[in-house]
Every structure is written in C-alpha cells, then in structure tokens.
Amino acid sequence: MNGILIIDKHAGMTSHDVVNAVRRILREHSVGHLGTLDPLATGVLPLVVGNFTRLAQFYSHCEKSYEGVICFGFATDTYDAEGEPAGSKQTPNLSLQQAKQMAVRFTGTIMQTPPPFSAKKIAGVPAYKLARKRKKVALTAVPVEIQEFEILECDGERASFRARVASGTYMRSVAHDMGQVLGCGAHLESLRRTAVAEFAIGDALTLEQLSSAAEEQRIEDVFVHPRKILPELPSITASDEMVARIRTGRTVNLPELSRAAKIKVFAGQRELVAIATRVAGTLFHAKLVLAPETAAQLVRH
C-alpha cells in the first residue's frame, strides 16, 4: 500500500495521533506525515504511506496556507488558546484598518522567535519538554518568510486572517508578536491549515471518511492520484524495458527531457516507479526507487 493521503485533522489531536489512527485503519505500519500540525489546529495533514514515506525529503521546505483568528487583549505561555494567560487582560479596540496595517509589518522576510512550546530543539531537547518543566527556554530568532498575510475582519478584539507562508513559520508567534507591538498582548485563538504544497483542503478527508473507505475496500480511490504529486517535476511514462532498467539501478537515455534536473517515472498511469536525476547529458539515473521489482518480475526478466 503506497501513496499519499490528505487528512482533515480534528482539533485536539496531535499529528502523531493521526498517524497512529491511520496505521490502525489501513493496517499499515509505514505511515508518516509531511509537517506537524499543532493540536489546536485543524485542516490539511498530508500523510505518506508505504514506500511513499521516502518522498518526505521533497516536502521538507514546502509552502503552507492558513486561515485563523487572532485574539487581542492578553498573551498566553503557549502563544495560543490552550495556554495559560500571561499578564493582565486588556480590552483593546482594534480597527480593521489598524489590523491591516499591522499585518503589513509582518509580511515578507521577518525575524521570528519560535514559541517556547514548540518542537524546536535546544541542545537536542524539544523546547516544549523544557517549557512543561518550567525550565528556561532560550530560542534564537530566525528569518522566516510570510508571502501573504491578509486581515479579513476585525471586531476590536479578534481579527480573522488568511496567510501563505514558507516552511518553518509559526502563526502562533505572529499572533504573539503582533500583541507585543501593540502593547496589549495577543494569542492565536484558532487555526486551520488549508494547503501544504500542492495538497489543498478540497483533497482532504476525515478519519471517519477514511475508515468508511477502508471498510468498503475503496482505499485506492481516496489516495492522491500519483500524477498530481510533485507537479513541478516533469513526468514520463516509461516502456517496460526502461522501467526494468530504472528499477535495477541502470541509467536510461531520455533526450526529450534533457533540460530537466529531476523527473517522475511512471509505469502506466498510476504506478510511480521512481524519481530520477539527470547525471550527464540526456542520461538519467534513479535517485529514489519507489516500486522495486517483485520476485515474479525478476523471474520474467
């Protein structure tokens, strides 16, 4: 069972909780996720299954999109609604125009300190483990990129937003830092991830829907079609001879793809065999074999 699933994560679950649930539903141990989603957050959580777990390396720096609500008036120790209030509560009266102007300050490449309750490591220890023990968490500010950050509505205390950010950006930190600048404190009240790389919320299904699909034996229908994966890479539908060469680590000559650095190699319409890299001229070699030959195929050759 190899493929990519897009789960619409419920609030309250960790990303690892979702992975474990999918392992049980599919009866498949080899399941991983493409980027942690906070327990508070909902939305797009892409999962790689079987041999496709090896594709995770191509998604380590992918773009993400969010919708959410920032609550102004007090900060929390986790920078979101699940934390303990930090400081006294204020009653801000933020206008939509003020909120929009503030969003502009947080658009582009900015310096951002990750939340103390995060998976960022300090001397090899995740920051959240230190924070839970009330130990000092000293995280360093790093540059992050926020391509789009739009305030949609604001009622004085709450502002709804839409954002598109590069990997490594914490919307919790954005909310916290906006509160710091305004002097009234703020935290992330809710967050929904609407896209990760090429995977959008429209492709997602709940764990309940996945369970139903498994019971009805239509799992293949809910996997992302392999042709939609890594759309930036050109595809080739290889002949049986070329597929056999690629599967056994030999080079193939592909003059029609001489300008491509990496390509996707398919056997038929759905079977993604490998990600191949151009090694010289028009010669390509498999960087990653996702569908090795079976014993029956080896016998035929």
Residues 6+ apart with CB under 8 A from 252: 238, 242, 245, 246, 276, 283, 284
Q: Tokens 């764990």 correspond to what residue? A: 207
Is the distance from CB of 73 to CB of 92 less than 8 angstroms?
Answer: yes
Cβ neighbours around 217 below 10 Å, total: 8
- Indicate which residues carry an active-site annotation: 38
Residue 230 near residue 237 (C-beta atoms within 8 A): no
DSSP 80: B
Beta bridge partners of 288: 275
Single-letter amino acid code for the residue at 8? D
CA atoms of 22 and 6, how far apart (whole Å): 11
